[in-house]
Amino acid sequence: MNNEIKLVSGAMVMLALSTSALVVLPYLQVHDAPPLPGLKPYSSAELRGREVYIANGCVYCHSQQPRAKAFAPDFSRGWGRATVAGDYAYDQPHLLGTMRTGPDLMNIGVRQPSEQWHLGHLYQPRAYMPGSIMPSYPFLFEAKAQADRDDVVVNLPAGYAPAGQVVVARPQAVDLVKYLQSLNRSYPVIAAPAVKP
């Protein structure tokens, strides 16, 4: 009986210490991190696109957290600088991701600023990245015989458009692209002030 009390007490102390180190201390450090000066709030179209991003599970294959040069080759891949807490000030929930089946998307708005590239890539990824395992999202588009005046027509590479039809982006696809283009954290990070001992 005495040993069981010691065992349970020890387990509770270890749980309290690990929770403090892994949950409480990080929360105290970054819970009120202000947005960096270059960060802009999302527009309504970008917020709708963010919902499309979440609904289609993009976060399961793409991360949004480039790491520092010392930890990973993210910078040499062209994914941009390592992110800091202020980069996520307007993100609720945070879409950091845990897998990198596809590339990190935090700075995709800088690497691929073209709306047409994004729309075509969503319609048929292999037209732009041969060998890509990303699924296509044809339900975000509509094939028409003729586009209306307000339609956003997707200019696809030869052989990928349906014969005799044009591919038109639905509003969800346009909003998703606006969200992806807003992922631009290329502004400089302000250095933390020096702490005096």
| pLDDT one-digit tens code per residue, 59-97 | 999 999 988 888 888 888 888 888 888 888 899 898 988
Q: Is the pLDDT of residue 112 over 60?
A: yes
Q: Is the pLDDT of residue 143 over 80?
A: yes
Condensed to tens digits (0 to 9), the pLDDT of residues 150-166 reads: 999 999 998 898 988 99
- What CATH topology corresponds to 44-182? Cytochrome Bc1 Complex; Chain D, domain 2 (1.10.760)
Question: Which pLDDT value is given to residue 86?
Answer: 86
Distance (Å, whole) CA 49 – CA 55: 10
Strand blocks (E) in 28-165: 141-144, 152-154
Question: Which pLDDT value is given to residue 1?
Answer: 61
End-to-end Cα separation, the chain, in angstroms: 49
Question: Which pLDDT value is given to residue 31?
Answer: 72
The mean predicted confidence, pLDDT, of the chain is 89
Peptide bond into 93 cis (omega under 30): yes
Residue with tokens 């037209």, as numbered in its chain: 127
Indicate the range of 11-20, 70-79, 106-115, 153-162 predicted with least confidence: 70-79
Are residues 84 and 91 in contact, defined by beta-carbon separation less than 8 angstroms?
no
Question: Which pLDDT value is given to residue 21?
Answer: 85
Are residues 182 and 42 in contact, defined by beta-carbon separation less than 8 angstroms?
yes
Residue with tokens 């387990």, as numbered in its chain: 11
| Half-sphere exposure in the Cβ direction for 150 (13 Å, CA) | 2
Helix residue spans in the chain (DSSP H): 2-19, 25-30, 44-55, 108-111, 115-123, 171-182
Q: Is the pLDDT of residue 57 over 60?
A: yes
Task: Give CA 120 to chain center in angstroms.
Answer: 19
Q: Buried b / exposed e across 140-167, counting CB within 10 Å, b at 16+?
A: bbbeeeeeeeeebebebeeeebeeeebb
Question: Which pLDDT value is given to residue 135?
Answer: 95
Contacts of 107 (CB under 8 A, 6+ apart): 66, 79, 80, 183, 184, 185, 186
Angle at 85 between CA 182 and CA 76, to 5 degrees: 65
pTM of the model: 0.82
